[in-house]
Amino acid sequence: MNTKNSRIIAKKELKSLMNEKTIVLAILLQLFIAMFSSFLLVGLASMYNPDSISRYSNIQYPVAYTGEPSDVLTYLRDSNDFVVYEMDLSTAVAALKERKLSAVLWIPNVEPDADDPIKITLYTIQNDIQSSIVNVKLKEILVKYEDRLREIRSDRLTQTPVTIIIPATNPSSDFYEFVYGLLIPMLVFMPAIISGALIIDLITEEYQQNTLETLMSTPVRFTEMIWGKIAACFILVPIQAAGWLLLLMANGIAIKGFVPILLHVSAGSLFLILVGALTALKYRERTNAQFIFSIVIVVLMLFVLAIPMNTANILVRLSVGSIGQEHWLFLILMISAVAILSYITTHYAKRVRMKFV
């Protein structure tokens, strides 16, 4: 196989990709998001753990207290997070709709030592980030009131409850788990999955646009054309992954094993690209090939994640510097798998080539 011809094909494909506004805008959008990854981190972490965003707010929120007097009113007034207004329910709800209030609490007319449960109604603004913060802060007040009710009604217990002592947790652990356990593996493997799907489009378009016969009449062999397209898709992965990591580091997120991470991502991405190339050569129609490729990716991910020393786990441990030299063994195994798949791809491409001779 003439590598010069493959380089020519790769340059041609990269040039055509750069002329595709959709591809360019997608890459620029990823880089733009990574530039503001601190804001992205706060937003995604709020979905991962809503309690984590409450500590970012140091303002006092206006809330309305309606209904009967209770210890909740005392707790709200003692809190530095709220400004409390006592008013009737209809007026409070109207003010909430106008966003003059952040929340409305309604306390029923039930004595603390009564037999009936106390059902407190909370009104908040729907689909609002501020409501998430207010809910978390109000939760602390309501939990405190719940503990007070348990003390008042403790004489009803027929058995002594078991005391459970839960150790204190570090608030930063949520961000640690989210950034290193989810965000970094997701970001660095996103280009790999995209390139795996992209190789299918590059190969199947030759069939669908009837340009394959024209290529066969040139000095470029079919296998050289396939490997040129694979190279074009592969080059994008380490560039994008490195861009993600550098921008995350610029946003204050420490990443230890920069180069080993890129090596593991490159090997894994080449494996996915080869799977995509084989799928495209087999089915030759974009929709069917993309569907089969998606199923294969899901099965592979489930299989890989079931292995303790999987790629995602290695990336997490590399990024925090908590892994020894054993990750090189996994990299060697991955490269061996890529070599086997490369051999299969080359020989299958030759078989496909024979059908057009």
d(CA 278, CA 268): 16
Confidence of residue 154 (pLDDT cuts 50, 70, 90): confident
d(CA 221, CA 229): 13
Residue 195 confidence (pLDDT): 85
Structure tokens at 300: 């592979």
Is residue 104 pLDDT above 90, yes or no?
Answer: yes
Structure tokens at 351: 């078989």
d(CA 22, CA 271): 25
d(CA 345, CA 11): 21
Mind listing the pLDDT tens digit for each residue in 216-253? 666 777 788 888 888 888 888 888 888 888 877 877 77
Residue 321 confidence (pLDDT): 83
Structure tokens at 320: 């925090």
Domain map (residue ranges) of the chain: 3-35+172-354, 52-156
Please report, to the nearest 10 degrees, the dihedral formed by the alpha carbons of residues 347, 353, 355, 357 taken in order.
-130
Contacts 24+ apart (CB under 8 A), 67-70: 67/105, 67/106, 67/107, 67/108, 67/109, 68/107, 68/108, 68/109, 68/110, 69/107, 70/107, 70/112, 70/145
DSSP state string for 256-295: S-HHHHHHHHHHHHHHHHHHHHHHHHHH-SHHHHHHHHHH
Residue 168 confidence (pLDDT): 59
**Which residue type is seen at 298?**
V
d(CA 69, CA 67): 7
C-alpha 78: how far from chain center: 39
- Give Cβ neighbours of residue 221 (< 8 Å, ≥ 6 apart): 1, 2, 5, 353
Please report where in the chains the tokens 């966003």 appear, as a residue. 99
Q: What does the radius of gyration of the chain's CA atoms come to, in whole angstroms?
A: 29
Is residue 26 pLDDT above 90, yes or no?
Answer: no
d(CA 41, CA 71): 37
Q: Label residue 260 exposed, middle or buried (CB < 10 Å: 0-12, 13-18, 19+).
A: middle
Given its phi and psi angles, is residue 306 left (phi above 0), alpha (psi -120 to 50 degrees) or beta? alpha
d(CA 181, CA 279): 31
pTM of the model: 0.64
Residue 170 confidence (pLDDT): 55
Residue 163 confidence (pLDDT): 73
State the average pLDDT for the chain.
80
d(CA 242, CA 261): 9
CATH T-level assignment (fold) for domain 52-156: abc type-2 transporter like fold (3.40.1710)
Residue 339 confidence (pLDDT): 93
Q: State what percent of residues in the chain have pLDDT above 90.
A: 19
- What is each CA distance from 330 to 179, 245, 350, in whole angstroms? 23, 22, 30
DSSP state string for 95-147: HHHTTS-SEEEEE-S--TTSSS----EEEE-TT-HHHHHHHHHHHHHHHHHHH
Is residue 5 pLDDT above 60, yes or no?
Answer: yes
Is residue 130 pLDDT above 90, yes or no?
Answer: no
